[in-house]
Amino acid sequence: MALVGRVLTVECPCSGTPHKEDTVTFKSVLGIAGGVAGIAAMVAAVQDLGDKFNNISLAGYVFPVYLAHTVESWTFLDAEGKPVPVEDGDAVLPFGTKYQIADAADDLFGEEITRPLAEMIRKSSPSGQMPKSISPNRRSGASRRSRSAPSSQDASADTEPLTA
């Protein structure tokens, strides 16, 4: 198996092995439906797997999306010698071939999916929100706090004596 540019070369899995090798050409860009489906699959994996999250478990969620959304064309033939439509790949091709295709798609498009996902996680993180409504410049401890560890625990420790 070799991925050169957007073309993956694989061992021929077709019935009767009519080819020396087959090629899979990936789309030049990831469509919006595929990209969003990829993000949704990763979010579902994180939520479902929790502590059991690992790359092979993640693949169970994301690889089907890759197979469905990233292939432009391929040279596979069915048992009757007819081209296998891209949308029929999952029903026709052996698992090993599909895995290689999805793995190559991950190399090509994985970062495109994880980058906006990471941005979404950063924005929705509780640590990104202000822990208190008190403006920092009203607090005498602000300048001292900025030299030490600027954590929210510091902020509450400094604030509580004022209200007591």
Interacting residue ranges for Zn ion, rule: CB under 5 A: 12, 14, 19, 22
DSSP, residue by residue, 36-71: HHHHHHHHHHHHHHGGG--HHHHHHHHHHHHHHHSE
Q: How far is the CB of 108 from Zn ion (least distance, A)?
A: 21
Burial class (CB in 10 A: 0-12, 13-18, 19+), 76: buried
Specify the residue, 17 or 28, whose C-beta has the smaller distance to Zn ion.
17
Specify the residue, 81 or 116, whose C-beta has the smaller distance to Zn ion.
81
Q: How far is the CB of 8 from Zn ion (least distance, A)?
A: 13
Specify the residue, 58 or 86, whose C-beta has the smaller distance to Zn ion.
86
Q: How far is the CB of 70 from Zn ion (least distance, A)?
A: 19
- C-alpha 43/C-alpha 5 separation (Å) is 28
Specify the residue, 82 or 138, whose C-beta has the smaller distance to Zn ion.
82
CB 70 within 8 A of CB 89: no
Specify the residue, 42 or 93, whose C-beta has the smaller distance to Zn ion.
93
Q: How far is the CB of 16 from Zn ion (least distance, A)?
A: 9
Q: How far is the CB of 9 from Zn ion (least distance, A)?
A: 11
- C-alpha 134/C-alpha 16 separation (Å) is 74
At residue 11, what are phi and psi to the nearest 5 degrees?
Answer: -60, 140
